[in-house]
Amino acid sequence: MMGLEPWVPGLVVLLAFIMAGVPIAFAMALVGTGGLVLLLGPRGALSIVGQTLFDTGLSYTLSVVPLFILMGNFVTRAGLSDKLYAACYSWLGARRGGLPMATAMACGGFSAVCGSSLATAATIGKVALPSMRQYGTADSLAAGVIAAGGTLGILIPPSVILVIYGVTTSQDIGALFIAGIIPGLLGVLGYMMAVRMTCWINPDAGPRGPTTTLHEKLVATKGVAGVLALFILVIGGIYAGIFTATEAAGIGAFGAFLIALFSGRLTLRGLGEALTETAATTTMMFAILAGALIFASFVNIAGLPKALTGFLEAADLAPFWVLASILLVYLVLGMVLESLSMILLTVPIFAPIVAGLGYDLIWFGILVVVMTEISLITPPVGLNVFVLKSVMPDVPLGTIFKGVVPFILADVARVALILTIPGLALWLPSLMG
């Protein structure tokens, strides 16, 4: 095809709509439909759009999304975050930088029962922040560790983003979940090291908390039994092949409901709120999903994948550098786009290229999710940072972004590590039953 290909103005118009504040889902649906009408005529285009709208709703695999969101909402209401933080704090709190390190660890633990980064940051933030402030942790460090720790929500299974990635690339969702475990633990470790480094540079940033006795430690540790049981039930069940990821989500939501019920904190009103919040979040996500699918049909028919492959062939790069450039694209896009839309817009285009180069799509999925984690804390749109801003309104945004820098460095190191040692992601799934 000569001259300007139709996907180029399509992308430009889409970005213009998004920047003008049109809801992303609707911007994608509008530009996608418009483009399809130009390419295929109104009849063909509208039948594709109608079919997409109907099929997106009726997808069995995607029913995993609301059920995992529901599980996270119940767990939040059961007060498990308080117990998790108390347990991590009892072991680490008395060290230099111990409180923020305990926060990073609690975030990792909460991620094991919650599939959303924003929820993890908001929930742990509510518990950890008052305690860190009480003992004089620097605002920048406190905010940074919660914003960064929260991002683990989408990597440590269950993960809503990994489900969406799995559906878009037809990869096994169970395998993706299991692949996220080691990189997620590496994330916790990296964030703890980032706290240590910060305290080493500025010893006043992370004062010690009071010491705890062994008895107190053991009592506090017993409090994480609920989280642990739920994680073993859900992820263990997937790992052992006892149930599918979709079934695991239903079981997990039910288990979390029981935990919330027996915690004595779940009121009828709380139950209603958990359900309605879940419904609203799910609708939001599916609107974006439907919009992205319509837009993806347009750019596919308009020849974007072919153009990109042609460009890569002409550039004659080594496969590794192609992959590295793709990851760089995520870093840039992540600064302006919301994470779900970013994944839905890019993965259908990049995944075939990456698979064509002979790379494993499960491994690529983990890399994409870690890049997405970074996008959640980089300015100017880092969503997790805004969650923090709503929890601590008196701290300027600039201070939070400054506090996040050491954690971004830890994340970059983690991407490099997973990129050079694919086994970090692929070893555990290879053992699955």
Partner 1 sequence: MATLSRIGRWTLLGASGALLVAMTLLTVVDVVGRYVFNAPLPGAFEATEIMLALAIFAGLPIVTARRDHVRVGLVVDRLPAGAQKVVGAISDLLVAALLLGAAILLFDQGEGLARFGDTTVLLRIKLAPVAYALSLLCAVSALVAAVRFVDRLRR
Binding residues for partner 1, per CB under 8 A? 18-26, 29-30, 33, 46, 49-51, 53-54, 57-60, 62-63, 66-67, 70, 242-243, 246-247, 249-251, 253-254, 257, 272, 275-276, 278-280, 282-284, 286-288, 336-338, 340-341, 380-381
Give the nearer residue to partner 1 in terms of CB position, either 14 or 349. Answer: 14
- DSSP letter for 20, please: T
8 A C-beta contact, residue 165 and residue 389: no
Could you give the angle at the alpha carbon of 407 between the alpha carbons of 349 and 100, nearest 5°? 135
Contacts of 116 (CB under 8 A, 6+ apart): 69, 72, 153, 154, 160, 281
Is the Cβ of residue 113 or residue 251 nearer to partner 1 in the bound state?
A: 251
Structure tokens at 381: 């749109």
Work out how close the CB of 42 gets to partner 1 at its nearest, in angstroms, rounded to a whole number.
11
Residue 26, token pair as written in the block: 């609707």
Least separation in angstroms between CB 57 and partner 1: 3
**Closer by beta carbon to partner 1, 105 or else 234:** 234
Q: State the DSSP string of 74-93.
A: HHHHTTHHHHHHHHHHHHHT
Minimum distance from residue 333 beta carbon to partner 1 (Å):
12
CA distance 363 to 243: 23
- Tell me the C-alpha distance between 413 and 355, whole Å: 24
- Residue 284 CB, nearest approach to partner 1 (Å): 6
User: Minimum Å distance from CB 199 to partner 1?
Assistant: 33
**Cβ-based nearer residue to partner 1, 59 or 134:** 59
Query: Which 8-state DSSP code applies to residue 316?
Result: T
Residue 22 or 228: which CB sits closer to partner 1?
A: 22
- Name the residue among 9, 8, 19, 63 with its Cα closest to residue 338: 19
- In the complex, the smallest distance separating the C-beta of residue 75 from partner 1, rounded to whole angstroms, is 14
By beta-carbon proximity to partner 1, the closer residue of 338 and 360 is 338
Shortest distance, position 325 Cβ to partner 1, whole Å: 24
Shortest distance, CB of residue 49 to partner 1, whole angstroms? 6
Residue closer to partner 1 by CB (options 381, 409) is 381
Q: How far apart are CA 91 and CA 159, in angstroms?
A: 27
Minimum CB–partner distance for residue 292 and partner 1 (Å): 12
**Helices vs. strands in the chain: H and E counts, helices first:** 22, 0
Specify whether the CB–CB gap between 369 and 327 falls below 8 A: no
For partner 1, give the closer residue by CB, 284 or 317.
284
117 within 8 A of 384, measured Cβ to Cβ: yes
Question: Which residue, 43 or 215, is less far from partner 1 as judged by CB?
Answer: 43
- 116: left (phi > 0), else alpha (psi -120 to 50), else beta? beta
Structure tokens at 295: 């837009």
Judge if the upstream peptide bond of residue 352 is cis by omega within 30 degrees of 0.
no
Q: Which residue lies nearer to partner 1 by CB, 210 or 393?
A: 393
Residue 203: CB minimum distance to partner 1, A: 37
* Cβ closest to partner 1, residue 52 vs residue 131: 52
Structure tokens that stand for 277 in this block: 């919040």
CB 36 within 8 A of CB 48: yes
Alpha-carbon distance of 235 to 233, in angstroms, equals 6
- Closest contact distance (angstroms) between CB of 125 and partner 1 is 20
Q: Answer positive or negative: Cα dihedral of 51, 53, 54, 57.
A: positive
> Cα angle at 10 between 8 and 15, to 5 degrees?
100
